[in-house]
Structure 1
Amino acid sequence: MQIHASAQTTDLSVASAAGNPVRNFLRLVLGGCIAVIVTFALYWLMAELVAAGREAMSDSPSGKIIDFVRIKRDQNLEIERPKPEKPDKPQDAPDAPPPQVQAQAPTAGAVQIGQMRVDSSLTSAGFRLSASDGEYLPIVKVAPIYPSRAQSRGIEGWVLLQFTVTETGAVRDPVVLESEPPGIFDEAAKRAVVKFKYKPRVENGRPIEVPGVQHLITFEIEEGRRR
């Protein structure tokens, strides 16, 4: 009896040892499948989060932005008025003296360009202005980006800047003269004006710099975007 029981115990031990590799292999396969599924799920979740973040960043807040340009009066601008054409003279008629043309100062006016108003005035001092001369004019305006922090808090305001229009029509050295509330919209306004492009002022056929140009930018939140 003791010999028979010992034989049965030995057979069970061998069977158990033979079954362990199979169980280990199944556990390894099952664990690998679970790891692959979890990894793909994490990658998918990360991709969704990144896509949602990009959409939130690309959805820049928009606001109603009204800006104005204030142009300083130039007392030294040379002005030339074209002379009227002489009428046809009959033959043998004495030469008529050339007509005397007196330069007149044009009245100040306002030119509306989109949401920008340009107020300009020129004063004549008996000088002559070449036909190719002219005042500088805005060509390209870039709307400022409404600061998200100010928009989320419902803050509105304005910034008055001063800068120089170069011979090439670019904007240089923007400076904030006044702003309300202070410091909230200053950087957004400065980043916008440096991207402006102007037709430069021309005197005697040559472009010149125009210092002291003032530009007012007003930040207002549209009714539909107020929070």
Structure 2
Amino acid sequence: MNFIRITIGALLGAAVTLGLFYLMPLLIAMADSSLDEKPATKIADITMPDREIETNLKEAKPDKPDDPEEPPPDLDQPDIEAEVNPDALNMTPQISADVNIGLGSGLGTGDGEYLPIVKVAPMYPRRANSRGVEGYCTVEYTVTKNGSIRDAVAVDCVPSGYFERTSVKAATKFKYKPRVIDGEAIEVLGVQNRFTYELEQ
């Protein structure tokens, strides 16, 4: 069955090919011969004039400006007299941070070689300042081997909800001389510092 189909296809292909070969010369013979009789159009020749290109390798540099003979005179500073009120500039309320250090664990009851080096005063909370609230806050923390502060937490603050955040933030900036035993620095747990907040009267 397939052989018959292939044979028929081959015969049809051969017939189409022979028909095309016969048709192509016929189409050429039937073409308009007047197209070939038109004279060819000549394109004008384009010539470019010869030009010499000059290359300037040594470009003249501009002359250096002359130095001024005399420098410009100094302008006189205007005399401005202003009265400054020191009390008006000091808008921050007065606070006091006691350096009262309590020892919350047994590790701090020995020699006590650790010493405070840097104490940072806390900022007075804006909400407490606007409401005229005073009080105190005790922060407990650990003095590490390098003298920094770790695990700072507010343990006793009166009134509650005003001074905890600023007190903990200030305590984390403290620096201590670490406690040393037998030539080795050790951590001190349960160190406390009490911050007292008082408004300027």
- Normalization by structure 2: what TM-score? 0.51
* Residue 71 (structure 1) aligned with residue 103 (structure 2): yes
Deviations 1:186-209 (A, max 9, x none): 000001000000000001101000
Deviations 1:58-112 (A, max 9, x none): 976232213221134747xxxxxxxxxxxxxxxxxxxxxxxxxxxxxxxxxxxxx
Retained in 1: the 8 A contact 2:149–2:174? yes
Retained in 1: the 8 A contact 2:104–2:189? no
Q: Counterpart in 2 of 1:6?
A: none
Retained in 1: the 8 A contact 2:97–2:121? no
Rg: which structure is higher? 2
Q: Counterpart in 2 of 1:163?
A: 141
SS of match in other structure, 2:124: coil
- Of the candidates 101, 111, 121, which is equivalent to residue 143 of structure 1? 121
Deviations 1:119-144 (A, max 9, x none): x8648xxxxxxxxxx61000000100
Q: Distance in 2 between matches of 1:209 and 1:142?
A: 21
Q: Counterpart in 1 of 2:50?
A: none
- Give structure 1 regions of 4+ aligned residues with deviation exceeding 3 angstroms: 72-75, 120-123
Give the superposed CA RMSD. Answer: 2.2
Retained in 2: the 8 A contact 1:60–1:145? no
- Any gaps of 5 or more consecutive residues in structure 2? 1-88
Q: Distance in 2 between matches of 1:60 and 1:194?
A: 25
- Number of paired residues? 112
Counterpart residue type for residue 69 of structure 1:
I
If each structure's helix is expressed as a fraction of its own residues, which one has the higher value? 1
Q: What displacement does 1:147 show?
A: 0.8
- Normalization by structure 1: what TM-score? 0.45
Retained in 2: the 8 A contact 1:69–1:213? yes
Distance 1:218-1:212 versus aligned 2 partners, 3 A rule: same
Deviations 1:39-68 (A, max 9, x none): xxxxxxxxxxxxxxxxxxx97623221322
Retained in 1: the 8 A contact 2:95–2:124? no
Distance 1:141-1:209 versus aligned 2 partners, 3 A rule: same
Counterparts of residues 200-215 of structure 1 (less than 5 Å): 200-215=178-193
